[in-house]
Amino acid sequence: MNTNSQTTTKGNKHMNTNQQIAIKESKMKLTTSNVIRWAGLSAMASGIIFAAIQPIHPPDVLESVTTSAFITITSFKTVMCLFGLLGITGLYARQAEKSGWLGLAGYLLLTIFYAVQMCYAFIEPLVLPLLANVIPGFVESALGVGSGAGGPMNLGAFATIYSLNSMLYLLGLLIFGIATLRARVLPRLAAVLFAFSGPLAFVLVALLPHQFARFAAMPMGFALAWLGYALLTERRAPASEPVFGKISPQLSLTEAK
């Protein structure tokens, strides 16, 4: 009797431990699912902002810098970069196992791009308007870095880093898009558009007049918003519920003796 009682007690303890582990795993899965959904919303916001500001962006000229439209629209660029960092992280986390090293490489490139671009985006609305009447040559040159028109001053590393960051952006889009396509987790058409939005923009910028070149960036915004929407609305299997009252066959046989 004592042996059976001790065995039953051990079996109950083992069952309680399994139940606690199952509950913890269930909570972790639910938390991860919610975080990824928020990341999907961030990707949507980043893509929508990126696409929406292109047709209404003021000209990259000195006279635009002190206008409220320039300050407002360029301020959204910082928000776009922040949401982009969160969104890309969620997109990668959702398909990390299946996207492999290619997905990791694309994720790192895009993360670096957004982090560096955020610094430039921060300068546009908060620094350039203050310098427009003090050092107009610097402001014109800074605007020329983004538009490719150049300016009267040589900005050295400021311009070099911006150019290198643009290359990271194009390469990151291509690599991450291909990795997403191969992973087969998110919509394939969105992955194709994301992958080729960079090369497409490069070609269109070379062909179109400067006033229309900004429209070349819109496909990337659409693709990112599409992927974010897919991440946000994706149906996931519910976390496994702990089944109370179940014990292992070995314990059942032990108790039956």
Report helix, strand and coil shares of the chain as percent, to nearest 5.
Answer: 80, 0, 20
User: Cα 118 vs. chain centroid, distance in angstroms?
Assistant: 13
pLDDT tens digits for range 71-91? 999 999 999 999 999 999 999
The whole-number pLDDT of residue 26 equals: 46
Query: Dihedral of CA 98/111/235/38: which sign?
Result: positive
The whole-number pLDDT of residue 16 equals: 56
Whole-prediction pTM: 0.79
Q: Which stretches of the chain drop beneath a pLDDT of 50?
A: 20, 22-27, 30, 237-257
The whole-number pLDDT of residue 255 equals: 42
Q: First-to-last CA distance in the chain?
A: 10
Query: Would you say 232 and 37 are in contact if contact means Cβ atoms under 8 Å apart?
Result: yes
User: How many residues appear in the chain?
Assistant: 257
Query: Would you say 50 and 80 are in contact if contact means Cβ atoms under 8 Å apart?
Result: yes
